[in-house]
Amino acid sequence: MRTLIVNCRVVSPGIDLASGAVLIENGTISSICDGGSPLPPAGNVIDGTGLTAMPGFVDVHCHGRNNFDFCDASEEGVRRIARGKLEEGVTTLLPTTLTLPEEQLRATLETIARYDGSGCRLPGVHLEGPFINVKCCGAQNPAYVRLPDAEEVRRLNAVYPVKKVSFAAEAEGAPALTAELCRMGIVPSCVHSAAKYGEFKRCYLEGMRNLSHFCNQMTPLHHRDIGLVGAGLLEDDVFLEFICDKLHICPDMIALVFKIKGPDRIQLISDAMRASGMPDGEYTLGGLPVIAKDGAARLKEGGALAGSVLQLNVALKNVAEITKLPLAELVKSTSYAQAQALGLPGIGKLEPGFRADIVLLDAAWKVRKTFVDGEIRFEA
């Protein structure tokens, strides 16, 4: 059956139709029509009056939602997270792990491998750690930090595809790990790191082109060594993950980075933990107690930010209000930059031949419908 979404604003990288229509056939986008064109016939017509159609969001850094964490290794938890993310417009998700023992990481990936596909798409996982700097752990557990080990990654990748590994660029063996990950088709990224620019550059020369949760738990810009923040701004081809909850990064820094870098290389992420989508209260992250209150998740001991409770539609709303950039530009940072960074074909645009992964947002940035492969999987 052909599905036609009509009377909606259509926004995709470089495209903004005030009134348009999207035709879906066999799980892919068949055509995009503007308001003045004759509409093709379809057996299923959906009225999108007052709504904006955008490519489904891609969240490459998310630990949990709905009081579940992927590292719980719970099949119900994986389903609940993957379905819950649809409510914020996410159609593709990288389950993100924590700095934990290999056996626990393996159990997590084995559980994800049994996912029934009923929510958003899970093409692979993001290993955040365990090869980080113990002095830059943030909310990661320092007890399980270890040196880079390509063989550990290889073993985990055999269980379920590893799409991305985030580690400290200054760690012993980090350049060699970078090169090996690139050979394996896995994206190397730097995070939880005290690397100087020169240490990052050694990994950059081996293929590192990503910085995870940019500005957080990484060396700041300084006039004697530009550090990782400076590296992200200086190197044009480096992709930046960005937590735009206005807590991890202040509005002025959000505006500055978008002005210097542009949306093409910025990936909006949630870095959400199990308290996302839940009421305020006490939760855990990697076994560490966390207090979620007033839109922030912080370690109970010390008060450090412990992931977020951010949702991707809210991240987009924040960035739109802060930067005032056209939505046809900002939409690059919700999905297409992620698809480019990870080498995921056929997602991130509303164009003929692309997957029919679509989110319909209302004027208040609330998600009204989420489609995966042309199927409505969430409806408010």
- The Cα 214–Cα 87 span in angstroms is 25
Residue 213 assigned ligand-binding role = yes
Flag whether 128 is marked binding. Answer: yes
For residue 28, what are the contacts with CB-CB under 8 A and spacing of at least 6? 346, 352, 353, 354, 355, 356, 373, 374
Question: Per this entry, what is the length of the chain?
Answer: 380
Tokens 């207090």 belong to residue: 291
Residues 6+ apart with CB under 8 A from 58: 90, 91, 92, 93, 267, 334, 335, 338, 339, 344, 347, 348
Give me the catalytic one of 237, 271, 294, 373.
271
Known active-site residue 116: no
List active site positions.
271
Residues of each annotated binding site for Zn(2+): 128, 192, 213
Residue stretches of the annotated binding site: 128, 192, 213
